[in-house]
Structure 1
């Protein structure tokens, strides 16, 4: 099927989105992928060095994905950095900043899926353990679970924090309340859909189109209107990266069949 052709551009979209976040890590002197909470006082002195070094590593890892040279290793490095430098920082605040924690884990899961896309191609330059079907099946299942958890949590947040979401939508888009609840339903449906192997390809494809639409219609205008806003800069990169993840997932779901 032609959907398998989405894998390569999906990986490129993911890498470009994460590349932007890597540059932001360097610019801010902090590892900000997943929007983790502030470092504890005992570790705050390490923040600039960690930001510069980890940001540079992320940039190099994204370059490997874009060049399709050791791209699986690059994606796995990104996943590991997200786990260690963002995921662990959410542990003390997981009950109060739960949506940020879910987003962090979803980006980690997406990086695992991108890594597996190289292993599924039977490439000789991939890591040995990534050439094993059992390994890729396990990592894809973990990635889908983490993405689904974030989507379902995000859908719930569209209802719980509807007033905030309504205010987030640009004025030129009509029917703010309708699209807030409609997108919430779509997020939940997409999350459930990627958990079911029979519906995973369609759910991933539709989710990628939705996310790309948000990137074009929501995040680009917000960034152009206020390029200095840290949240809008990250939102631009995150939405693009997530769209790439779901394009890859749609493509490899067809290939696995």
Structure 2
């Protein structure tokens, strides 16, 4: 299976932007990379982190370098998840906001891995068989699907903050907060149990894309000097691109499929 170019390009551009922000600010990606302020060499690590995102993002733009770039991003985002977000969950397991933050990064792990699994072949220089092929594609989809209900639950538990982000010109902003939360949960369950998975992934991509366009872009235009809002825009963009990549992995699957076929999955992963 080959992921078509557009989703990968948007994914790459978002990481390039995050890398540039880190390099110019000398800091990590705001609340999404909660590195403690007192950690030794923090500024140096922030520059290294920014350089990894920038270089790997640039690597995703070329088919010749997509395999090592996607592998690097898979490792990087996994370390990001395990080192920065999992300890917060362990420290405060009853706070859903820590789970929601981890879920956002898990979508990036899943998409990075899916790019690698779809592009790596035995002829590739950086080929690791357990991380490539049909089984890897399946696991990456599973990880993405697990993340979505956690995002939805975060919307539902923090209704007012979510509603405050809904554009003021829309009626019943609280209602939209409910809708987006439930939609995340429904999409995750549908992908997880292979109930209209292509349609579910597509609608998830459209929803997160609309959120990026109508929430974060106006916010950046209103306060262009704030690094936080630029980081928010790029994180929202990269999550949208992650959903896009998952959607593209289903492009040979029927729109109205209610079952998962091993043969179909093998066919998707070897195209």
Q: Cα deviations across residues 34-88 of structure 1 (Å, max 9, x unaligned)?
A: 81323263xx231111111221122111111112222021012112122224531
Contact 1:204–1:249 (CA under 8 A) maintained in structure 2: yes
Relative contact order, CA 8 A, sep 6+: which one is greater?
A: 1
Q: Cα deviations across residues 21-40 of structure 1 (Å, max 9, x unaligned)?
A: 11122123234388132326
Alignment map for 1:73-152 (pairs within 5 Å): 73-94=68-89, 95=93, 96=95, 97-119=98-120, 124-125=123-124, 127-129=126-128, 135-152=132-149
Question: Could you tell me which residue of structure 2 aligns to residue 231 of structure 1?
Answer: 228
Q: Per residue, is there more helix in 1 or in 2?
A: 1
CA RMSD in angstroms, aligned pairs only = 2.5
Question: Could you tell me which residue of structure 1 aligns to residue 63 of structure 2?
Answer: 68
Shift of 1:129: 2.8
Shift of 1:225: 0.9
Question: Could you tell me which residue of structure 2 aligns to residue 58 of structure 1?
Answer: 53
**Partner of residue 239 from structure 2, selected from 234, 237, 242:** 242
**Partner of residue 208 from structure 1, selected from 205, 208, 219:** 205
In 2, the alpha carbon distance for the partners of 1:241 and 1:123 equals 28
Structure 1 unmatched runs, 5+: none
Q: Cα deviations across residues 70-123 of structure 1 (Å, max 9, x unaligned)?
A: 20210121121222245312233112422212222221122111222323xx69
Shift of 1:224: 0.9
Structure-1-length-normalised TM-score: 0.85
**Closer, same or farther: CA 27–235 of 1 in aligned 2, 3 Å:** same
Contact 2:118–2:132 (CA under 8 A) maintained in structure 1: no
In 2, the alpha carbon distance for the partners of 1:200 and 1:141 equals 12
Structure 2 unmatched runs, 5+: 253-266
Paired residues, what number?
248
In 2, the alpha carbon distance for the partners of 1:243 and 1:217 equals 13
Aligned-partner SS, 2:41: helix
In 1, the alpha carbon distance for the partners of 2:165 and 2:143 equals 25
In 1, the alpha carbon distance for the partners of 2:30 and 2:84 equals 12
Shift of 1:138: 3.3
**Partner of residue 29 from structure 2, selected from 6, 29, 32:** 32
Aligned-partner SS, 1:212: helix
